[in-house]
Chain A
Amino acid sequence: MRIIGFTICLFVSYFGLFSQHADSCSPTISPSALSQRIANYTFEITLDHITHSLEGREWIEWKNLSSDTIRNIRLYMYLNAFKNNQSSYLKGSMMNVMGQDLSHRKDEDWGWVSVVEAFQNEKEITDMYYVQPTDGNPLDQSVLEIVLDQPILPGATLSLDMVIEAKLPRIISRSGFAEHGHHHFVHWYPKMGVYEQDKNGEWGWNCHQFLRQMEFYGDHGNYDVTIEHDASLTLGGSGCFEWYKEPVEGAKGRVSTRFNADDVIDFGWVASPNLLVHTEQWRHVEIRLLYPKIHKRLVPRLIDAALHGLEYMDKHVGEYPYSTLTILDPPVHGLRSGFMEYPTYITGGSFYAFPKGLRSLESLIIHEFAHQYFMQMVANNEKEDPWLDEGFVTFYEDCIMEDAYGDASLFDLLGYRVRNSSFTRNEYASLPNHSIGPIAVRSWDVRRDYKGIIYSKTATVLQTLKRYIGEEHFDEMMRNYFEQNKFAHPRKDDFVSAVLEEFERHPNILTPVIEEFLTDVLDGTKVCDYAVTNIFNGRTPPVSGLIDRTIEYKMSGLTSPGANYSSVRLERWGSLIVPVDVRINWSDGTVSEEMWDGKSTVFVMEFSRDARIVSAEIDPERKLFLDIDFNNNSISLQSDKGGIWKYAMRSIYWVQNAIQSTSFLM
């Protein structure tokens, strides 16, 4: 009987256990820790979706890896950016975020987060206050400083137990609630700042206030998040489910969901009714797409984009070590929660009846996915070095899109075709002032044209490097950079070292000036523009008079005066110096390839040949993607004007159509 009873107990407990953990998973495919797991969080919270509020406990375990004894800690309290219109974030946004006027907002539409109680080793901490280390705005409450009861010695671990409360704002930007029960939780909890050495080697808290144009920065760690919520809500977020919607005893209609996310820098999640779930498996990764029913037709496109992203980054950069990727395609009323990246969780933005040839929704998914590599695994300081993630991700977005969708990767609509890289380059090339500022700059120091500089110019620099060194070596360079800096906080110098190493290993015409080039494009505001300004065919001129010292001559087998003589005049119109290839086409059908170091402002190439120069072109393979005007890179003496005629004729045709159409009532 005892054996039977024991067997029944075993059976029941096994299946009890099994049902409890039916959905459990490992957040990563690695059996060991991928990161140093400096900041680890456990949450047990309750969501009241009617009042849009959270309450519960948060436990932080934080490792002091510095040589300092730490007496104060700093926590990000970023939800407080939406507490009132005096926060630094909203003041910096001029009361208008993503087209939303914030000057007439109801009290219940503001949001906040607070630490109700905090305990260190079961002893209550009472000394905590808001600090404003970035801009000194006394009304800003986005950083909380806590004076610890017991200092944390080097190598020791802080255990902090907090009772927290949070109320979501009506969504201003990403975090908040929207109509129809849509709730998006990002940067919603008190989160540890980063204790690190600054450029001078001094240890201290890197915990900036939340300003407009600023993103995030945190240490890697594990998140164990248990949320009690209404059963009607569909949940998704970073990491995987330990369990999903398990009934809560004694609370009708209430369920509990537990997430686990390991080796990540943050934890974001969504709770929304009426979202459908589509899952797809890619190798070890479960892609979980949450979408409104009306977007069903877009599911294959969104999944396809994610698959392309996973394939490409795995092949060209490194392994995606997580077991999940959650994508939120928000409903229209929750669109403000879209367009963003969180660890293993990204949000897109699409519309019903989105034309197939308009691939901005695929491009967005790929962009946000690429952030899993640059900002999540390679966790640069997004506030102080935004180019290290946004620029890199824009570059990879272009690469992936073109690899997946070809020449017309971004637009292929009504005969209008645009490649991603061409679009990105133009975002930079079309800036009214290309020297508005350097790339390597703190996010809040960018005055204007943030996207054009931080995203597009950086991506164009990377595209230039790739074209000079070749795809194979560029991939090797980025793989090395990724491997050396994943689960760490690289700075500019780490990237520069990776580039220098690779260019030294595989020399090309850019190698001799690569250091100067990187300094100029990252820290400087120099502009690149090379031009061919003249071609001459005739007889050798007699050399007489004074020769301008700023003009260099490259003599190529010149003979006596009166012999055949051809020359090409090359000019550098920008201040950025880059060696360039020059291709010359001759009347006898031959092609000569020359090289110019690009240093002088004017450079005349001279030749004495029986044939005449037909055309000359600087950088014919468009390696120097940073050049702001490719049209002036060449001159042809026998140019085929067919293209110009075609456009002139098109304009005649469309003017005829326009005057016919607009005059139908006259």
Chain B
Amino acid sequence: MKSIGNILFSGFTHRKLITTIYLLQFVMAITVGLQVYNVLDASIGNSLSINGLKYGNAHMVINDLLNTHGPSLSPVLGQARWMMLVYLIFAAFIHGGIWNSLIHTGAENAFWNGGATYFFKCLGCGMIWTFLLLIWSAVLWIPYISRITIWMEQWPSEAPILWIGVLIFFIWLIGVLIFFVASCYSKVFIIRDDRQVLKSVWKGLKTGIRQTFRVVPILLIFATATGVLYAIHAVIDDSRILASTIGIFILFFIQQLIVWIKIGLRISTYRYLLHRNV
């Protein structure tokens, strides 16, 4: 138990790194948040209906807002979409920084130097893995989805259809785990061994396939910890206690703490993978 605890929280020794990444993400997200605030304030900010927004989801308020002011919300959604894309590219920089900090512990400005030095290599590597994930998802899900309606009319029960879906999900998840582990090791090989992108990807894949099943329990623990955080948030977000002005800001603090912890857990995962002597 103690060693699991050590693994789980090992990344939290890099508090400066976690905070840096957190701030970068926060800066990007707050642009969307402020837009949401402005649109809501401009459209229904003086209405008494907004009191309903404090308590869980206010279906009628939100629907009337979408019906009447839907077009003014579409730029926000557009912005969120573009921002996600920008962050995907920016994430190559962040990952270059994270891995450089973990590999060259103690080096000055390791995060920024790593991000700048390995940006393009990490970007190329990330694009390859994302492309492979898309292919993997398409290969598994498109045949299934395209058969569902036919099976529904032909099969005696829907249970097998559901369970096949569950089975495919687990197979897909194994693939995702392999890709995740392999992509991590690819970056290790790029930064630690100064390898080329394609060679790193290939070696990463081989290592990923070899290592994934050994690290699955630990990865599941990380996933569970993240799930617990989501569940805690769902309960708190739904609570009527946090509906006062102070309560809402306490909720915000908890939300941001969760985001910070999740980054810490991600770094703990990377540390764990790095220290498996591959």
Residues of A within 8 A of B (CB): 99, 178-180, 274, 292-294, 331-333, 335, 351-353, 414-419, 422-423, 425-426, 429-430, 615, 617, 628-637, 639-653, 655-660, 662-666
Q: Which of A180, A274, A617, A664 has most B Cβ within 10 Å?
A: A664
Q: Within 8 Å CB of B91, what residues of A?
A: 659, 663, 666
A/B interface sample: 30 pairs, CB < 8 A: A178-B153, A332-B158, A417-B57, A422-B60, A426-B63, A426-B67, A617-B48, A629-B68, A633-B49, A636-B46, A639-B46, A643-B51, A643-B53, A644-B53, A646-B54, A646-B251, A647-B36, A647-B40, A651-B29, A655-B32, A655-B33, A657-B259, A660-B263, A660-B266, A663-B88, A665-B130, A665-B133, A665-B180, A665-B183, A666-B123
A434's closest neighbor in chain B, by CB?
A: B67
The answer to whether A352 and B26 have CB atoms under 8 Å apart is no
The interface stretch among B6-14, B104-112, B189-197, B240-248 is B240-248
B253's closest neighbor in chain A, by CB?
A: A649
Q: How far is the CA of A662 from the CA of B92 in the complex (A)?
A: 12
Q: How far is the CA of A655 from the CA of B179 in the complex (A)?
A: 23
B128's closest neighbor in chain A, by CB?
A: A665
The answer to whether A639 and B259 have CB atoms under 8 Å apart is no
Contacts A430-B63, A630-B64, A631-B68; A333 near B180 (Cβ below 8 A): no
Q: How far is the CA of A577 from the CA of B55 in the complex (A)?
A: 33
Shortest distance from the beta carbon of A548 to any chain B beta carbon, whole Å: 24
A622's closest neighbor in chain B, by CB?
A: B60
The answer to whether B49 and A415 have CB atoms under 8 Å apart is no
Residues of B within 8 A of A (CB): 25-26, 28-30, 32-34, 36-37, 40-41, 43-54, 56-61, 63-68, 80, 83-84, 87-89, 91-92, 94-95, 122-123, 126-127, 129-130, 133, 149, 152-159, 161-162, 179-180, 183, 233-234, 237-238, 243-245, 248-249, 251-252, 255-256, 258-259, 262-263, 266
Q: Within 8 Å CB of A99, what residues of B?
A: 149
Contacts A415-B237, A663-B87; A333 near B251 (Cβ below 8 A): no
Q: Within 8 Å CB of A352, what residues of B?
A: 157-159, 162
Shortest distance from the beta carbon of A154 to any chain B beta carbon, whole Å: 50
A333's closest neighbor in chain B, by CB?
A: B153
The answer to whether B245 and A642 have CB atoms under 8 Å apart is yes
Contacts A425-B60, A656-B259, A665-B129; A633 near B156 (Cβ below 8 A): no
Contacts A352-B162, A429-B67; A631 near B47 (Cβ below 8 A): yes
Partner of B61, one of A630, A650, A658: A630
Shortest distance from the beta carbon of B121 to any chain A beta carbon, whole Å: 12
The answer to whether A634 and B259 have CB atoms under 8 Å apart is no
Q: Within 8 Å CB of B129, what residues of A?
A: 665-666
The answer to whether B41 and A665 have CB atoms under 8 Å apart is no
Shortest distance from the beta carbon of B7 to any chain A beta carbon, whole Å: 18
Q: How far is the CA of A333 from the CA of B126 in the complex (A)?
A: 44
Shortest distance from the beta carbon of A416 to any chain B beta carbon, whole Å: 6
The answer to whether B266 and A353 have CB atoms under 8 Å apart is no
Q: Within 8 Å CB of A414, what residues of B?
A: 234
Q: What are the nearest 3 A-B pairs in CB distance?
A: A643-B53, A666-B126, A663-B91
Shortest distance from the beta carbon of B64 to any chain A beta carbon, whole Å: 5
The answer to whether A628 and B53 have CB atoms under 8 Å apart is no
The answer to whether A351 and B36 have CB atoms under 8 Å apart is no
Q: How far is the CA of A293 from the CA of B262 in the complex (A)?
A: 43
Q: Within 8 Å CB of A650, what residues of B?
A: 237, 255
Partner of B33, one of A274, A422, A649: A649
Shortest distance from the beta carbon of A530 to any chain B beta carbon, whole Å: 13
Q: Within 8 Å CB of A617, what residues of B?
A: 48
The answer to whether A641 and B41 have CB atoms under 8 Å apart is yes
B247's closest neighbor in chain A, by CB?
A: A642
The answer to whether B67 and A629 have CB atoms under 8 Å apart is yes
Q: Which of A99, A615, A636 has most B Cβ within 10 Å?
A: A636
The answer to whether B36 and A666 have CB atoms under 8 Å apart is no
Q: How far is the CA of A292 from the CA of B157 in the complex (A)?
A: 8
Q: How far is the CA of A54 from the CA of B174 in the complex (A)?
A: 53
The answer to whether B68 and A645 have CB atoms under 8 Å apart is no
Q: Within 8 Å CB of A630, what residues of B?
A: 49, 60-61, 64
B255's closest neighbor in chain A, by CB?
A: A653
The answer to whether B37 and A645 have CB atoms under 8 Å apart is yes
The answer to whether B84 and A659 have CB atoms under 8 Å apart is yes
The answer to whether A652 and B33 have CB atoms under 8 Å apart is yes
Q: How far is the CA of A632 from the CA of B44 in the complex (A)?
A: 7
Q: Within 8 Å CB of B53, what residues of A?
A: 642-644, 646-647
B187's closest neighbor in chain A, by CB?
A: A666
Q: How far is the CA of A335 from the CA of B122 in the complex (A)?
A: 50
Q: Within 8 Å CB of B95, what residues of A?
A: 663, 666
Q: How far is the CA of A456 from the CA of B251 in the complex (A)?
A: 37
Contacts A352-B162, A646-B248; A656 near B29 (Cβ below 8 A): yes
Given contacts A294-B158, A659-B28, A662-B87, 16 further A-B contacts (CB under 8 A): A292-B156, A293-B157, A332-B156, A335-B152, A352-B158, A415-B56, A426-B59, A640-B50, A642-B54, A645-B248, A652-B26, A652-B33, A656-B26, A664-B180, A666-B122, A666-B123
The answer to whether B32 and A651 have CB atoms under 8 Å apart is yes
The answer to whether A644 and B37 have CB atoms under 8 Å apart is yes
The answer to whether A660 and B25 have CB atoms under 8 Å apart is yes
Q: Within 8 Å CB of B238, what residues of A?
A: 415
The answer to whether A333 and B155 have CB atoms under 8 Å apart is yes
A429's closest neighbor in chain B, by CB?
A: B67
Q: How far is the CA of A631 from the CA of B66 in the complex (A)?
A: 11
Q: How far is the CA of A364 from the CA of B256 in the complex (A)?
A: 41
Q: How far is the CA of A180 from the CA of B233 in the complex (A)?
A: 46
Shortest distance from the beta carbon of A338 to any chain B beta carbon, whole Å: 12
The answer to whether A631 and B40 have CB atoms under 8 Å apart is no
The answer to whether B40 and A648 have CB atoms under 8 Å apart is yes
Q: Within 8 Å CB of B67, what residues of A?
A: 426, 429-430, 628-629
Q: Within 8 Å CB of B94, what residues of A?
A: 663
Contacts A417-B59, A425-B60; A642 near B263 (Cβ below 8 A): no
Q: Within 8 Å CB of A294, what residues of B?
A: 157-159
Q: Within 8 Å CB of A652, what residues of B?
A: 26, 29-30, 32-33, 252, 255
Q: How far is the CA of A49 from the CA of B223 in the complex (A)?
A: 52
The answer to whether A666 and B245 have CB atoms under 8 Å apart is no
The answer to whether A351 and B50 have CB atoms under 8 Å apart is no
Q: Within 8 Å CB of A643, what residues of B?
A: 50-54, 58
Q: Within 8 Å CB of B255, what residues of A?
A: 649-650, 652-653
Shortest distance from the beta carbon of B152 to any chain A beta carbon, whole Å: 5
Q: Within 8 Å CB of B57, what residues of A?
A: 415-417
The answer to whether B84 and A635 have CB atoms under 8 Å apart is no
Q: Which of A331, A617, A657 has most B Cβ within 10 Å?
A: A657
The answer to whether B28 and A655 have CB atoms under 8 Å apart is yes
Q: How far is the CA of A665 from the CA of B252 in the complex (A)?
A: 28
B246's closest neighbor in chain A, by CB?
A: A642
Partner of A648, one of B37, B61, B233, B234: B37
B22's closest neighbor in chain A, by CB?
A: A656
The answer to whether B47 and A632 have CB atoms under 8 Å apart is yes
Shortest distance from the beta carbon of B115 to any chain A beta carbon, whole Å: 12
Q: How far is the CA of A635 from the CA of B50 in the complex (A)?
A: 10
Q: Within 8 Å CB of B56, what residues of A?
A: 415, 417
Q: How far is the CA of A639 from the CA of B52 in the complex (A)?
A: 12
Shortest distance from the beta carbon of B87 to any chain A beta carbon, whole Å: 4
The answer to whether B49 and A634 have CB atoms under 8 Å apart is yes
A170's closest neighbor in chain B, by CB?
A: B153
Q: How far is the CA of A660 from the CA of B98 in the complex (A)?
A: 14
Q: How far is the CA of A32 from the CA of B218 in the complex (A)?
A: 74
The answer to whether B87 and A659 have CB atoms under 8 Å apart is yes
Shortest distance from the beta carbon of B33 to any chain A beta carbon, whole Å: 4
Q: How far is the CA of A633 from the CA of B263 in the complex (A)?
A: 44
B68's closest neighbor in chain A, by CB?
A: A629
Q: How far is the CA of A323 from the CA of B35 in the complex (A)?
A: 60
